[in-house]
Every structure is written in C-alpha cells, then in structure tokens.
Structure 1
Amino acid sequence: MSNDALILVGNSKGGTLTTLRISDEQLAWVGGVTVGKGCSTFAVDHARHLLYVATSEPSPAIVTMRIDPAHGRHEEISRRGVSDPLAYLDVSPKGHMLLAASYHGGWGASYQVVDGVVVEESARLDHRNMHAALFDPTGHNAYFVSLGDDLIAQFATTADGGLTELSEPHVRATPGTGPRHLVFSPDAEHAYLLTEFTGEAIHFERGESGRLTRREEVPAFDVTRGLRTSSFGVDPMAGHLVWGADLALAAGGRWLLCTERTESTVGAVAVGADGRLSGPVVITDTETQPRGLTVSPDGEYVVVVGERSGQASLYRIYDDGNLVLQSQLETGEGPNWVRFL
C-alpha cells in the first residue's frame, strides 16, 4: 500500500468528514469539513474524484463534493434533497448512477448522475428498514437489503439509471435475522451478507443473470461471550444481544471481516478458493461499538471506527486472520462510516 493512502471518516454526530493519511503504518490527520449531522454513509467515485455524502441536517440530502486530497477540505458542488435520511449510498462504476437506501423511510431508489450532479429519481421500491443499496462490481446489477422484511431485492440496471426486476425479484433471509450489509467478491461471483440480530455471515453464489443463490452461513462473532439473538426494537447493549454492523473482504478475499457492536469485536471468517465460508472465526477486540470498517485496496490493512470511542484504528491483517493494531487516532464525534479515498 502507498505510504500516502488516504482514508475518509464520516462522523455522524459531529456532522463532519475527516480525512486521514497513512504514513509508516501510522494514522495522521489531514483535514476536515462540516457537511451536516447524519453524515452516516458516503460513496466514493475514485475515477472522477467525487464524493456522494448523505446528511440528515439541516434537512435530508445527498451532497456531491469534489475530493481535495491535499488538505481534506472537500468542496461541495451540489446538493439534492430527499424525503428521509439515508442509511446507504453507492455509485456505479461508470459514475452515471447512484443507489440509495432509507432505513427510516423504508425505501430504496436509483438516480441518474450527470457531471457529478444527482438529478432525477429513476426508480423506487418500498421495503421496511432498507439498510443497504449497492451495485455488483460490474455495475450490471443492483441489490437492496431490507432488514425489516428479511430480504434482498435484486435488479438489472438500465442505461438511463433505472432498475428491472430479475426473474427472481427477492432472495429471502430467515425471518427475524435482520439482514443488514452486503459485499461482493472482486470477481462478482460471490456475495456475503451480515445479519444484525443473529450475527451470521451468509454466502451467496451469483449467477450470470445476477441472481443470488444461498449456499451456507456461519456465526461471525465470538460465540463464547454469551451473546443472545436480538430482535427489532430492543436495546442490544442492555440485553447483551448480538448487534452485527458492517463487513468487508480482506487479504485478497481470503478473509471476510464482520463487526459486532455489543462486544466490540471484528470477526474474521475464512473464505475458501471456492468462495465458501469456514471456521473457526478469528476474533479481534477493537474500537467501542465498531459501526464501520474498510480494507485498503491491496487488502492488507483494515481501518475500524468506533461510534462510542470517537476513534479510528489501523490494523495489518495476517495470514492467520489476526488483526494487529498499528495506530489509533481521534476522528470526531460518532464516527460510523469509513472508506479509502
């Protein structure tokens, strides 16, 4: 990884974006910018040096910013209002289309993007507690994860930014598991889902049409710590319940990393050459209430941010799945989203 690798952190409670730099395996502050509270998700268009940030204050919006790598003072170039705060954003590989998911609004949508400006809404779907919306690595398909309805809605994308249902419109999860976030293997042949209430990592194979087929699931948290299955509307901390959050593939796709917030851990699940998941899970204690994590482009470094700690931790991942801490740094109030720029 380049010694000048940049990391962006969204501090939801503080309403700020913080840019960090990795230098000699240490995190260093570059700069920050205020965008509005609720900046709890963003999508990076690396090719066009653009950033799409969701905010909830002063009113729900998608903010487009031009990335300033030298100083971290990213410049706002447009702002599009939306009806409800957003939980997830993703931009297409070509940069012409944006996906959004609203947890509280219970909807997902696709938008056309022209020169970085988010224009008209092209398609919309309604499902309870929509928690993720993302493209596969090719941009040919779009997937929306509904925590409340325990499903993944799957579509083909169209040239004008629209969505067409696949022959199997939905992939169902076990009722009450709370599907949350989804990630794809680099070759787009596999997908992995993390559930919030049961902390399971679920493996899907992805067919030529984009349809997902469920293959197996494994616990992605420390099963020795007495955590019990959670459910909608309860306090997981008060009941010492499973509270899954985010996931990412690391080390060339050999490890699937999953955060669990009640015990503040990252669980590393081994991924075979055939994409299948196997145990045991390698557990690393990390930042308090680890809402988000990301992996460096070379797959060797992991950054985890803690909602309650206000910090980011930089790790190197080793062949055995262990994460070894290299550096920690304060980022702002309530960090919960992090990506490499």
Structure 2
Amino acid sequence: MTADTHIAAVGTYSAATDESVHTVAVDPHTGAMRQLDAVAAGPDPTFVTFGPSGEYLYVAVREEGEGVIRSYAVDRDTGELTERDSAPSGAAAPCYCSVDKTGRCLLVAHYAGGAVSMLSLDADSGVGSPVETIDHRGSSVDSDRQTAPHPHSITLGPEDRFAYVPDLGTDQLHTYVIECDEPSLSRVEAVDLSPGSGPRHLSFAPGGERAYLINELDSTVTVLNRESDGTLTERASVSTLPAEFEGDNKTAEIAVHPSGKYVYGSNRGLDSIATFEVDGEEIEQVDQTATGGEWPRHFAIAPDGALLFAENRHTDDIVAFDVDSQTGGLTPTGESLSVSEPVCMQWLPDRS
C-alpha cells in the first residue's frame, strides 16, 4: 500500500452469509479502486463507521429482531478486517451509527425500531450493551411512510457535546446531549419541520456554525444555523431537483465539501448528485450530475475534496467523479468498482 493511497470501508445490503463489508484501496489522483478484503458481517450491514484512531471499524447489522453492532480490527497496510466483538444495538433495524472523537461512545439510529441508543466502547474495540435506549414518539402526514417514528441517522455535532437525529416518520430534528465519562444520552429539543418532508441525513459545514439537512420525501435541503448552546434554527430550504423534473424521487445522502463552498445531495429516481453553492445562509442549486448508475443511496467525498464516489445500489457499482475546486462541478473519471448493493462508504482516518 503506497503512502498516498486512501482506504475506505463499504457497507451493503446482503444476505447473512454473503461477504458484505468490504475494504477498498482508492488512488486519490485517479479515483481508481480495488478491493482489499471482504467479510460476512450478517444480514444487511448497511452502515459502517471507523473509530477516531482508525484501528477499528463498527458495523450496524440488521439481525432479525434486535440489531447488532459488530467491531473489526483494521490492518492499515492491507485493509484486512478481523472480527473482535459484538453487542445488541438496542432496538430493531439499526440504519446508522457514529462514534465520538474519544472513541468511547457509539450512537445508533434505528429506522424500524423507532429509537436511538448509546453503547460504550473500550480501548480494545470491545462493544458494551446499550447504556441508553430512547424511543421516539409520533407520526406525520404521509400515510405510507410516516405512521410511526423513523430515526434515520445520528450525527455528532462539531464539539461532540450534542448529537442530532432527523426522524423521517415525525418530521422532526431531535437534539441530544451526550456524556461519555458516565455514559448518558439526554434529549434537549425537537425542531418541527415541514409536514411530509421526511428528514433523513445531516451534514455540518466546517466550523459547525451551519448544518444542512436532506429531506427524503419532498426532495429538499434545509439550511439551519447552529447556536452556541447546540440548538438549530431553520433559515432556508431548496429543492434537490431541476424545475422541469417530473416523476418519483427520494433523496438520500448529503455532504458538505471540505472547503465549505459546496453542498451535495443524492437523488434516487433522477439518479443524480445535486450540487449547491453556498451563499451565506442560503444555497443555490448550480448543477445536476448523473451518477452513472441507479439509486445512489450514499456518496462519499474524498478527504481532500478532489473526488466524489457515488454508491449506486441498484446497479451494483461505485462510480468516481472529479470535483472542480472552482465551481464544485462533477466530472466522471472513468473509474468504477463492482460491489453488490453498495449503500455506505467511509474513509479510514489519517494516522494521528
């Protein structure tokens, strides 16, 4: 492995016995990808996240009934994964997990389980049973998708004091205080969003003063200001679709470019990445780029911001794009990797 090669982990939809969590080597100059290792983590390990040191990978697995979090040791030189531990996730159908900067707390959102949880981690990748599991309550206006709570992600704020949970089923964005010394998770507030919007994922701008929330059901992005006490205030909203689009669409992932100048969101149906330019408290849609496949449930921006990788679930591929630093525009590099139903891609942290 060369010094400038990036390693990423990929989660997928898969059967319990399939090789379903992959490590991938990525050339940061060309976007070329090659598989390093793959393990059978269980049914539908759809979300993965590294601990802050990069020594361990944590995987949210949708076992029947209560979900499971599995941990793997990561060989930085070869990408090899070695299973280390597992524990119940706290509720059914975990769909997202995140680890705080100290590597002591793991937070989980459960879509079908309607709950969030906190698990303790030890220095050797040990995963403890949930120390907190908090049920969400309520519903909203969509009779197909919003008859019950559906927490879809749990994102740590810039200072690791607060965690933010978009709930697709209730059209709310919840704020939690987290404590990892004596582990606890406490709800602070819930911001009510536009009925039928279906909030899904959240991404913070560099510095953390602004957040961008992608809404699955109405294909919009909400811009929010973050106050010093961790609370969020809605400032603007914009569509992820071109004005002429007609048809069904569901958004999925959102990410801010490392420069803070651009925001990207994925459209499933239109099968594109929408590019937005940041202008103060507002964003303007400036481009739509076809992902080269179907149903981009996730995408990942390279750590230096030079490349973007779209995970096309329905066409079983990851497609690489160059990012124009002057305009934010995306151009296919011609590189892709075949992976069965890829739905999450996360970068191995740099050594520190």
| Pair in the same fold by TM > 0.5 | yes
1:295 aligns with 2:301: yes
Which residue pairs with 2:140 in the alignment?
Answer: none
Instruction: Indicate if the aligned counterparts of 2:88 and 2:129 stay in contact, CA closer than 8 A.
Output: no
Which residue pairs with 1:283 in the alignment?
Answer: 288
* 314-323 vs 57-66, greater mean Cα deviation: 57-66
Which residue pairs with 1:203 in the alignment?
Answer: 223
Deviations 1:195-244 (A, max 9, x none): 00111111111111100011111112233221xxxxxxxxxxxxx32201
Which residue pairs with 2:81 in the alignment?
Answer: 74
Q: Structure 1's 136 and 327: CA in aligned 2 closer, same or farther, altered over 3 A? A: farther
Instruction: Indicate if the aligned counterparts of 1:33 and 1:73 stay in contact, CA closer than 8 A.
Output: no
* 256-265 vs 43-52, greater mean Cα deviation: 43-52
SS in 2 for 1:253: coil
Identity of aligned residues (%): 22
Deviations 1:182-201 (A, max 9, x none): 11122111111000011111
Which residue pairs with 1:30 in the alignment?
Answer: 36
SS in 2 for 1:8: strand
Of 323, 328, 343, 1:336 maps to: 343
Instruction: Indicate if the aligned counterparts of 2:168 and 2:200 stay in contact, CA closer than 8 A.
Output: yes
Which residue pairs with 2:212 in the alignment?
Answer: 192
Shift of 1:296: 1.4
* 53-62 vs 81-90, greater mean Cα deviation: 53-62
1:153 aligns with 2:159: no
Instruction: Indicate if the aligned counterparts of 1:89 and 1:98 stay in contact, CA closer than 8 A.
Output: yes
Deviations 1:19-76 (A, max 9, x none): 2222241222322222122110111113151111011247731001111233332111
SS in 1 for 2:78: coil
Q: How many aligned residue pairs are there?
A: 324
Of 101, 108, 127, 2:116 maps to: 108
Which residue pairs with 1:229 in the alignment?
Answer: none
Deviations 1:62-111 (A, max 9, x none): 00111123333211100112341211100001111111011111111112
Mark the runs of 5 or more structure 1 residues left unpaired by the alignment. Answer: 227-239
The AA in structure 2 aligned to 1:173 is: L
Q: What TM-score does the superposition give when structure 1 sets the normalisation length?
A: 0.90
Which residue pairs with 1:231 in the alignment?
Answer: none
Q: Structure 1's 281 and 143: CA in aligned 2 closer, same or farther, altered over 3 A? A: same
Deviations 1:261-301 (A, max 9, x none): 111100011113x3x23323310000310001111111221
Instruction: Indicate if the aligned counterparts of 2:43 and 2:62 stay in contact, CA closer than 8 A.
Output: yes
Shift of 1:155: 1.7
SS in 2 for 1:52: strand
Shift of 1:251: 4.6
Q: Structure 1's 313 and 48: CA in aligned 2 closer, same or farther, altered over 3 A? A: closer
Instruction: Indicate if the aligned counterparts of 1:7 and 1:21 stay in contact, CA closer than 8 A.
Output: yes
Q: What TM-score does the superposition give when structure 2 sets the normalisation length?
A: 0.87
Take 2:115 and 2:60, find their aligned partners in 1: how far apart are those partners? 15
Take 1:331 and 1:91, find their aligned partners in 2: how far apart are those partners? 28
Q: Structure 1's 97 and 52: CA in aligned 2 closer, same or farther, altered over 3 A? A: same
Mark the runs of 5 or more structure 2 residues left unpaired by the alignment. Answer: 137-148
Take 1:111 and 1:58, find their aligned partners in 2: how far apart are those partners? 19
CA RMSD of aligned residues (A): 1.9
1:316 aligns with 2:322: yes
Q: Structure 1's 326 and 3: CA in aligned 2 closer, same or farther, altered over 3 A? A: farther
